[in-house]
Amino acid sequence: MDTNPSGSGLPKPPRSVVTDRRGPIGPVVLGLAAAVLTVLASFTSPFTLGAEAITALPLSAGLAALVLRLRPAQRSCGTDRSQHDVAPPEPPHRWALVWLGLVVATVGWELYCYLNTPRSSHPTLSGLIDMLDARPIGKFVAFSLWLALGWVLVIQ
Amino acid sequence: MTGRQWSFLIWAVLGLAVTVWLVATWLSGGRLPTLGAVLLRLKASSIGRVLLAVGWAWLGWHSFAR
């Protein structure tokens, strides 16, 4: 018989009475939910309650994930040194400025188009996206990409 | 060229520049910072993570809801 290492002679409790049977259910459920949401979104039109509700769902999930992600970092500040004892981050790579330049140029052009009329002569980024997702298949692809982007930027 | 055509041309140039830089950084073997590396660095700070989340939220709401 497997005895308790404390020497009391009592039988050693089993290491795992209840095995973890969760497996990959979480990602599967999330993937299914995202697929259902994307299909529903592909049949909505902007400026409708349906579109707002479908878009608000992942936004709410992202907000919740962001709050959960930020809270432990704030709580452990100054108390848990183990996370802060790692080496300081390397200084920013000078070539990272190219990314900054591209973002500034894109945002600048977006603002220029947004502030000028007529809209037909100054299409904004959302106008370009509207052209792509005017049909359900286009919206399906665009909404999928947006959800994937949210997963990478907010959840992960 | 009309104003609309100029606008599309500039959008295309911006898109091409982003694509070229994406490929260049990817092929550089770590010598140039990839988009993933820049995003990871941004996500390392709370303010960077919040900014990325706000940008993502704005993009989705602006594109699909209003």
Which site among B56, B61, B62 would you substitute to test the A interface, given the most A Cβ atoms closer than 10 Å to its Cβ?
A: B56
Report yes or no on A80 lying in a domain: no
Number of domains in chain A: 1
Provide the H-helix boundaries in chain A.
25-41, 49-75, 96-115, 125-132, 136-150
Report yes or no on A78 lying in a domain: no
Report yes or no on A14 lying in a domain: no
Looking at residue A1, its pLDDT comes to: 46
Looking at residue B30, its pLDDT comes to: 86
Distance CA A119, CA A32 (A): 38
Q: Tell me chain B's radius of gyration from C-alpha atoms.
A: 16
What is the band of A64 on the pLDDT scale with cuts at 50, 70, 90?
very high
Ordered per-residue pLDDT tens for chain B, 66 residues: 888 899 999 999 999 999 999 999 999 988 999 999 999 999 999 999 999 999 999 989 988 887
Provide the residue range defining the domain that includes A107.
Answer: 25-70+93-155
* 3-state class percentages of chain A: helix first, strand second, coil last, to nearest 5: 60, 0, 40
Candidates A52, A98, A123; nearest CB to B7: A123
Report yes or no on A63 lying in a domain: yes
Question: Model's pTM, two decimal places?
Answer: 0.73
* 3-state class percentages of chain B: helix first, strand second, coil last, to nearest 5: 80, 0, 20
Report yes or no on A119 lying in a domain: yes
Question: For the purposes of burial, counting CB atoms within 10 Å of the CB of A40, is it exposed (0-12), middle (13-18) or buried (19 or more)?
Answer: middle
> Considering only A82-86, A106-110, B12-16, B44-48, which range has the smallest mean pLDDT?
A82-86
Report yes or no on A57 lying in a domain: yes
Report yes or no on A148 lying in a domain: yes
From chain B, pick out residues whose CB is under 8 angstroms from the CB of A52.
65-66
B39-55, pLDDT tens digit by residue? 999 999 999 999 999 99
User: In this complex, how many residue pairs, one in chain A and one in chain B, have their CB atoms less than 8 Å apart?
Assistant: 109
The angle formed by the CA atoms of residues A83, B37 and A144, to the nearest 5 degrees, is 105
Report yes or no on A84 lying in a domain: no
**Residue B60 C-alpha, separation from nearest chain A C-alpha, in angstroms:** 7
